[in-house]
Structure 1
């Protein structure tokens, strides 16, 4: 006689947790290595200094995933503001693919603020990261109070077009 399998909530949770490693077994792994500023390759420093000559490099990470290598290089500007460059290794050289800096929400472009307000999501950002992509797009990452790990909303701006993103931007 076939009887349906009925799991209690704790048994269901245990089953999901037991299978979870299988779901992520094929997911690409990212190897992250801390790199002291003095140990950065000269080619990486040259690209960063070309973009921000007065930046003081404070820390860096090398990220390796799926045959790609990235450097995240963080530092400060003379006015104390922080800036971060994400560089991707391409054809034996390094290219900035993203530039990030914190900004005040009031200094975000009005169309971006308007789109966020019109989205229906009631977010008063306590932190805003302006993330300039190398294709001219700018992503505004809005962080809500008490949620510092992931943005609660992202809004893109490119060629005057503004869009509230439904998925997290990949960089």
Structure 2
């Protein structure tokens, strides 16, 4: 019987190389899966953060549309971002703080003097803090906004130190 000359040396080398290639392919697929899952979580967190900031800005705009300087107080605002009738976020608005008051210019930009422009008109700067807690992710977002409001001296003395 005739024996092939190189046949005895091929005792499982192809099997070992095939298993190594299969292991490398498995590692590559699993690392791709882990990276895609991580990226999906990062994008979801960024979307939740952006929605929280949008909810805080909507609540701040709602407070600014009211006469909040007459009697500043804390408030809680329910925000429905996607208009589906379900409250998406609850925003806690801290009591607005008057942080600065300065006398407004008494001279009108034109030659006409308006009744609202007098020596008793004050530029006041207010800080409004909105805190949003996301019930799904547990993330907290704090948004601070500043706004300038023109007040009379009596109004300024009532609410600004």
Structure-1-length-normalised TM-score: 0.23
Query: Hey, which of these two has a bigger chunk of strand by percent?
Result: 1
User: Larger relative contact order (C-alpha < 8 A, sep ≥ 6)?
Assistant: 2
Structure-2-length-normalised TM-score: 0.24
| Structure index of larger Rg | 2
